[in-house]
Amino acid sequence: MRTAGLLIDTAELRAHVEIVVNSTWVTDVHTHLFPADFNGLCLFGIDELLTYHYLTAEAFRSTSVPPELFWRMSKTDQADVVWKTLFVDSLPTSEAARGVITVLDAFGLDTRATDLKEARAFFNSRSLPEHVDHVLDIARVGGVVMTNDPFDEAENQIWNSNVVPDSRFQVSLRLDRLLNKSDLQGASISEHRHFLDASIRQLHPVYMGVSLPPDFNFPGDDTRDRLLRDVVLPAAREHNLAITLMIGVRRGVNPELREAGDSLGKADVSAIERLCAEYPDVKFLVTFLSRENQHELCVAARKFRNLMPFGCWWFLNNPSMVSEITRERLELLGQSFIPQHSDARVLEQLIYKWKHARKQIADALYDSYEQLLNSGRAVAPEEISRDVARLFSGNFNEWVARERCGTSVSESH
């Protein structure tokens, strides 16, 4: 057996996996970030970090400030409430709270501060374009996919002002406002199709995406089914665009909490199997919000090569869940999945979300290589680099390359 150059020592193997996972640049396939010159839409700094809806939901559990009063406060006052509640009066052990600690620490700021003076002064002193570069560099994020809503006025104004977007920020066309309404909203099917085609031609998205409730079904007997069949899926075929489905969100379970008031539910994975079977030439990126759907998603992906599982979404983006889900994906799918996306809304969240995810991914990968070693196959350093490159960008690039499964764009025209 060849052993020269192979990682047969487990301490060396572990060290090598960590180096590769921590240093490989990642493409972040779903975020809510915007470039620096998207006036007002590029959120950054300590007040935005602390008023993130993952954290306000947690703060409401412990603060005496009622939601209706909280929402009337200025953003700085809201951030002060969250800091005092979750970071001063208690230890920030939740994932979202620890994330803020990871960010402060990355910039050498006091993680035990009793107020936000130092942090505010630091973030206010930054030049935004340079800060964006610095954050992407620390997080080792080579590019992010934005969430672009073609029905949003503020965004449309920016696009119509002929802005040339930072090429590290790729467009995805978010279709919630088209697909999650109960009727056609006064437009015909062909008018919807025309609007979608025009948006695709203007924005050049890398995919079209939608978040869906747990009762999403396919086929369905609702307006969404008609719009999918007659508008979105034909557009995906014609423009060779992948479709991203994020399934299992129940919006506004507690409206008093505003954007922090959404919850989740277990969905039916067989709907995705039927969709993939009926549209074998369309590529689907799929994530489910419920832990209970994760194993079934892996099995569905084994059956359909046009199905790419991605990310540990929102309430699943906790170390214990990321560890479990990444391991079951490695066991059932090898390297043919996308382990994580950040869902960052505030720029600096890239730092913690990727640092924390990389830790779980490295641990899971190491264990899989150690098991392989024990079975009789040692791995080479370049094989680890190949795996990580595939997981962190290669699988996504393959999905959004303008090619159909098995057919190149030029052949299909």
Contact positions vs ligand RAT (CB under 6 A): 32, 147, 211, 246, 314, 343, 345
Q: Which does 193 bind (CB under 5 to 8 A by kind): ligand RAT, Zn ion, none?
A: none
CB 225 within 8 A of CB 218: yes
Helix (H, G, I), strand (E, B) or coil at 63: coil
Closest separation in Å from C-beta 162 to ligand RAT? 27
Identity of the residue, 47 or 343, whose beta carbon is nearer to Zn ion in the bound complex: 343
Q: Which does 361 bind (CB under 5 to 8 A by kind): Zn ion, ligand RAT, none?
A: none
Other residues' Cβ atoms within 10 Å of the Cβ of residue 9: 12
Q: Which does 356 bind (CB under 5 to 8 A by kind): Zn ion, ligand RAT, none?
A: none
Encoded one letter per residue, x for contact with Zn ion by CB under 5 A and - for no contact, window 250-269 reads: --------------------
Closest separation in Å from C-beta 86 to ligand RAT? 18
Closest separation in Å from C-beta 246 to ligand RAT? 6
Exposed (0-12), middle (13-18) or buried (19+): which is 162, by Cβ within 10 Å?
exposed
The token pair that represents 103 in the structure block: 């960010």
Q: Which does 284 bind (CB under 5 to 8 A by kind): ligand RAT, Zn ion, none?
A: none
Closest separation in Å from C-beta 299 to Zn ion? 25
Closest separation in Å from C-beta 41 to Zn ion? 15
Q: Which does 314 bind (CB under 5 to 8 A by kind): Zn ion, ligand RAT, none?
A: ligand RAT
Closest separation in Å from C-beta 36 to ligand RAT? 21
Identity of the residue, 95 or 273, whose beta carbon is nearer to Zn ion in the bound complex: 95
Other residues' Cβ atoms within 10 Å of the Cβ of residue 381: 16
**Interface size with Zn ion, residues (CB under 5 A):** 1
Q: Token match 């999905």: residue?
A: 399
Identity of the residue, 7 or 350, whose beta carbon is nearer to Zn ion in the bound complex: 350
DSSP string over 74-96 = -HHHHHHHHHIIIIISS---SHH
Q: Which among 151, 152, 145 has a CA at the least distance from the CA of 166?
A: 145
The token pair that represents 139 in the structure block: 């997080």
Identity of the residue, 148 or 240, whose beta carbon is nearer to ligand RAT in the bound complex: 148
For helices 294-303 and 319-333, angle between their N-to-C axes, nearest 10 degrees: 20
The contacts of residue 251 (CB under 8 Å, 6+ apart) are 213, 261, 262
CB 275 within 8 A of CB 310: no
The token pair that represents 277 in the structure block: 């079977």
Other residues' Cβ atoms within 10 Å of the Cβ of residue 137: 11
Q: Which of residues 19-58 bind Zn ion (CB under 5 A)?
A: none
Q: Which of residues 319-378 bind Zn ion (CB under 5 A)?
A: 343
User: What CA–CA distances, in Å, run from 176 to 63, 93, 308?
Assistant: 33, 33, 20
Q: Is 273 in the site for Zn ion (CB under 5 A)?
A: no
Identity of the residue, 26 or 246, whose beta carbon is nearer to ligand RAT in the bound complex: 246
Closest separation in Å from C-beta 210 to Zn ion? 11
Closest separation in Å from C-beta 368 to ligand RAT? 28
Identity of the residue, 312 or 400, whose beta carbon is nearer to ligand RAT in the bound complex: 312
Q: Which does 404 bind (CB under 5 to 8 A by kind): ligand RAT, Zn ion, none?
A: none
Closest separation in Å from C-beta 32 to Zn ion? 6
Identity of the residue, 7 or 243, whose beta carbon is nearer to ligand RAT in the bound complex: 243
Helix (H, G, I), strand (E, B) or coil at 244: strand
Q: How far apart are CA 369 and CA 375, in angstroms?
A: 10
- CA–centroid distance for 121 within its chain: 30
Chain position whose Cβ is nearest to Zn ion: 343
Beta strand pairing call for 207-212 and 307-309: unpaired
Binding site residues, Zn ion, CB under 5 A: 343
